[in-house]
Amino acid sequence: MNETEFKQKVDEILAHVEAQLEDCESDLDWDLADGILDIECEGGSHIIINRQVPTRQIWVATRADGFHFDLGDDGCWRQGELEFFQLLNQTLREQCGESLQLVPAEVV
């Protein structure tokens, strides 16, 4: 995948996450700009999701840890056995107190 395709693919994922956040009526605040989605939890902690062009990865920074997701042959972004949306939902629940079920675009 070349740089342009990678940026487009990740931008689509971030926009899809943002659209789901808008639809869920949560107390979260977020900002999406230049390939970075910054989700602010009640209490002031942040979840930062961004694209890393040189490594062709999606990086997620949470209060607890950092994660680097690669695109698998099955089209899912994974770090080992951990899937991107699985981590995002778990982190939203544990860090932000929001029980959301965000899903990949293919599932919607």
- Does 104 reside within a domain? no
Domain count, the chain: 1
User: Tell me, what's the pLDDT at 108?
Assistant: 46
- Does 101 reside within a domain? no
**Domain limits at 49?**
3-96
Average pLDDT value for residue range 22-45: 91
CATH code for position 46: 3.30.920.10
Evaluate whether 63 touches 75 at the Cβ level (below 8 Å).
no
- Does 47 reside within a domain? yes
Evaluate whether 6 touches 56 at the Cβ level (below 8 Å).
yes
Spatial strand order in the sheet of 77-79: 29-33, 36-40, 46-52, 57-61, 66-71, 77-79, 82-83
How many CA atoms lie within 13 Å of 81's alpha carbon, on the beta-carbon side? 0
Q: Which residues contact 74 (CB under 8 A, 6 or more apart)?
A: none
Which single residue is written with the structure tokens 């680097």?
Answer: 68
- Does 105 reside within a domain? no
Average pLDDT value for residue range 36-57: 95
Reported as a single tens digit per residue, the pLDDT across 58-91 is 999 999 999 999 999 998 999 999 999 999 999 9
pTM, two decimals, is 0.91
Alpha-carbon distances of 61 from 2, 23, 47, rounded to whole Å: 24, 23, 6
- Does 73 reside within a domain? yes
